[in-house]
């Protein structure tokens, strides 16, 4: 069942992009276009050494999917006063991170604890929606923000606040982890069969499949904000 946000975007709208190989049609909201063509808080130059308090980096330089964020934090109020970023990603990644930087700094700056609770669907909602196949693009900025805040916790000696993302092994044969399932769902695998095609999870160890299916439902809800049917 399609969400009301996506219906609103798609109604009476011609697709902005048509994949010439698959025929998939993508429609972008006016907000997405605005935040892509006129990105907010995008840093085009290398920052000065003492210009920001912390930096976060996620992705792989080898494949090109890299996201960097720089933060200026008020140590007394723990509000994010400045949020700059840089990536060479697609339109959705640029728009999503641009919006994230606005969310984190508006109204005097968001407090760290609240910023850590920002979810990809919060960003997507403010953008007026994203095509389902592009939801994963809202994740890079979110992860880079957490990486920057973790670095700040370490720099300020607040090691007890560092977020450690653990990943449990689900299938001992293929060494498939919870993180692998999450990544598969982010990349568009929304059924058990699709996840198995990407990860091979449970093919020789069916005992883990009920847990895998539960995780698929959880991550679909987390990143898409609804159950797909």
Q: Active-site residue numbers?
A: 63, 137
Instruction: Assess contact for 72 and 81: CB atoms under 8 A.
Output: yes
Instruction: Assess contact for 199 and 184: CB atoms under 8 A.
Output: yes
Output phi, psi for 188, to 5 deg.
110, -5
CA–CA separation, 134 and 199 (whole Å): 20
> Residue 107: which of 81, 83, 77, 126 has the closest Cα?
81
How is 177-225 classified by DSSP, letter by letter?
A: EHHHHHHHHHTT--SHHHHHHHH-TTSS-GGGHHHHHHHHHHHHHHHHS
Spell out the residues 6+ positions from residue 118 whose beta carbon is closer than 8 angstroms to its own: 100, 103, 104, 142, 145
How is 125-171 classified by DSSP, letter by letter?
A: HHHT---GGGGGGGHHHHHHHHHHHHHHHHHTT-GGG-------EEE
């Amino acid at each position: 069942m399609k969400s009301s946000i996506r219906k609103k975007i798609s109604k009476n709208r011609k697709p902005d992009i048509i994949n010439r190989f698959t025929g998939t049609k993508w429609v972008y909201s006016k907000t997405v276009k605005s935040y892509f063509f006129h990105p907010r808080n995008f840093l085009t130059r290398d920052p000065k050494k003492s210009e920001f308090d912390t930096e976060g980096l996620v992705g792989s330089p080898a494949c090109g999917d890299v996201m960097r964020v720089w933060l200026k934090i008020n140590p007394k109020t723990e509000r994010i006063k400045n949020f700059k970023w840089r990536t060479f990603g697609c339109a959705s990644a640029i728009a999503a991170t641009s919006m994230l930087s606005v969310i984190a700094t508006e109204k005097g700056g968001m407090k760290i604890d609240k910023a850590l609770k920002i979810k990809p669907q919060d960003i997507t909602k403010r953008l007026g929606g994203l095509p389902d196949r592009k939801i994963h693009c809202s994740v890079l900025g979110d992860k880079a923000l957490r990486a920057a805040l973790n670095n700040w916790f370490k720099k300020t000696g607040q090691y007890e606040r560092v977020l450690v993302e653990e990943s449990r092994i689900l299938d001992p044969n293929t060494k498939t982890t919870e993180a692998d399932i999450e990544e598969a769902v982010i990349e568009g695998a929304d059924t058990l069969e699709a996840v198995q095609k990407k990860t091979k999870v449970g093919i020789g160890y069916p005992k883990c499949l009920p847990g895998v299916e539960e995780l698929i439902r959880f991550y679909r809800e987390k990143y898409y904000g609804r159950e797909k049917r």
